Copies of this chain bind each other. A is one copy, B any other.
């Protein structure tokens, strides 16, 4: 990896997909230490979930290749629901590893906020398997079921989910690209317009959990998922420059190396043996650990797919960071905080950084890039020798999962 960029994530009524990708591309271009010429790009991969549905336009590969001036170079779209751009990244790696190409641009994109909330819910539900969508499941419902199963099995409760939310907001408050770059404390103190509009008297809560327990501030969506357990609707784009190892020095003296990359598929909830684990995540992790020769304890920090607070807890167990049933305790003890032993979602995660579906996979890898290259500013992981980070991306209800391990040498 020789460069990486991301647009700000958020809801942008005045920006379209091309504006967002241009923003990410320009950031990426300026991140390449020794510069690069877009004409040297050999091929392009773009992850997008369903701009087909959200803005009634498909076939974004060539639209973006025209936008950034690289047509007639090949442009391929990948789709794996919320993991769409992790797939683009992976195909980019294969394209370079196969020897076909030396310089490959990979990116992700989604434009969601032009739709109504119900339209977004309908579009997102197309990423579940038919057995789920057809019986009326939407994503908060699905993850509400997983949380209920987790609570039942391990004795956790909503209080433990709140620890995830509070940490995510604390990290996002330090991330200027995050959609919600405010801590829960900031929100309690009226720094968010929504609270003011609702006429909430401020300050009235004794602490963050008191705020999150208040149904006026944090209403239920699909029990036990409340508003602050759920990632938002977002627009955004991300991109990254992959180059063959032999020529990396032409671009930077400090590239990152893709040392492990795994992907798995899942059957959907109707056919799983456990509601507290994703088989596809485990498959992907196993593949990536096997390729890299690394173990869970070697991963110094990670971005994981926290579309809902419960998801973060499940993933950190599936990835082997913590034992099954111990993830919620690890969060409780602060181990996943920025200053903990295993920082998770230093960016603020999907919950607070935002989740423009197709942009998320490479958006997560962008955070790993920023951290490993010591560019993360106030949210920089305070480790002396930050060398290995990883990102986990999940599509649908575990239909597609990826795990990618990056190393700075």
Contact = CB atoms under 8 A, between A and B. Distances in A.
Contacts of A71: 264-267, 279-280
A49 interface: yes
Nearest to A261: B100
Contacts of A390: none
Given A97-B98, A280-B72, A61 B266 contact: no
B62 A267 contact: yes
A135 interface: no
A396 B59 contact: yes
Contacts of A59: 79-81, 126-129, 395-396, 399-400
A13 interface: no
Interface string A96-113: 011110000000000000
Give the interface centre of A59, A93, A267, A271 by most chain B CB atoms within 10 Å.
A59
A79 B280 CA distance: 22
A278 to B, nearest CB: 9
Contacts of A396: 59, 62
A94 interface: yes
Given A94-B94, A100-B94, A126-B52, A268 B76 contact: no
A61 B86 CA distance: 14
Interface in A43-67: 43-44, 49-50, 52-53, 56-59, 61-63, 65-66
Contacts of A266: 62, 71-72
Give the interface centre of A61, A87, A122, A264 by most chain B CB atoms within 10 Å.
A61
Given A50-B58, A58-B127, 6 more contacts: A52-B53, A59-B80, A71-B266, A71-B279, A72-B265, A97-B100
